[in-house]
Amino acid sequence: MTAVLAACSGLAWAAVSLTSSTHTDAKRPEACTYTPTGNGAKSVGVPSFDAMAARRPFMLVISTSEGPITIQALNSQAPCTTNSFAYLAGKKYFDGSKCHRLTTAGIFVLECGDPAGLGTSDPGYSYPNENRQGATYPAGTVAVSKAQPGRNGAQFFITYADPVLKMAPEWTPFGKVIDGLEVVEKFAAKGTANGKPDGAPKEPVVINSLKVQYPRH
């Protein structure tokens, strides 16, 4: 059993780009620091940050072949992160990209956000961790995964079931799926292309579009 848990634990770490971080958690900022990396999959520039605008609630809506996934942004807990994702959505950074990794044992995640489809690129900038103290990753959590150690960028994972293994609070939770988790479950049920518990999804998961949606008043 110990060997099995160790193997699953290693799988879990590989599956969501679990890497050691060189950033400490950011304080709730009046300004965010976005640091150029020179590793962008697309050239989209670097976002600006308006503390007042960043507090405005919004949702992210991902359109896929199996239907939409609606995510409530946790902008009060992770303003630098949610501001970055809103910026990238406005630049159509994710549109047409494929989710590159699925994990079906130990932890249950779909990982997306690299237009190159390899899990190695960021949007050309990075920013500090947020919202990690006491963080857990139950089903429906949306959190930042890292292309390289210490680099929060555009890659993210969605947990489609509660993890069996304990996940350390290493990744910034910035959203919660409020509708469409069954869409992720449908892709996950088809397994991986290599037939193993960790790999590219067997059925390509294409993000047709990722858009910001503000609540109607």
The 10s digit of each residue's pLDDT in 137-151 is: 999 999 999 877 778
Nearest to 54 by CA among 72, 68, 74: 74
3-state secondary structure of 180: coil
Report the distance separating Cα 164 and Cα 23, nearest Å.
Answer: 27
Dihedral of alpha carbons 185, 100, 37, 40, sign: negative
Residue-level pLDDT at 11: 44
Residue-level pLDDT at 75: 94
Q: How many domains does the chain have?
A: 1
Report the distance separating Cα 201 and Cα 190, nearest Å.
Answer: 8
* pTM reported for the whole predicted model: 0.89
Nearest to 96 by CA among 213, 210, 192: 210
Residue-level pLDDT at 14: 47
Residue-level pLDDT at 1: 31
- Quote the tokens at residue 7: 């193997």
Residue-level pLDDT at 217: 63
Residue-level pLDDT at 61: 98
- Residue 86 makes CB contacts below 8 A (sequence gap 6+) with 58, 60, 73, 212
CATH number at residue 107: 2.40.100.10
Residue-level pLDDT at 31: 77
Domain interval for residue 171: 2-25+32-213
Residue-level pLDDT at 54: 85
Which residues in the chain land under pLDDT 70? 1-23, 27-30, 217
Residue-level pLDDT at 43: 83
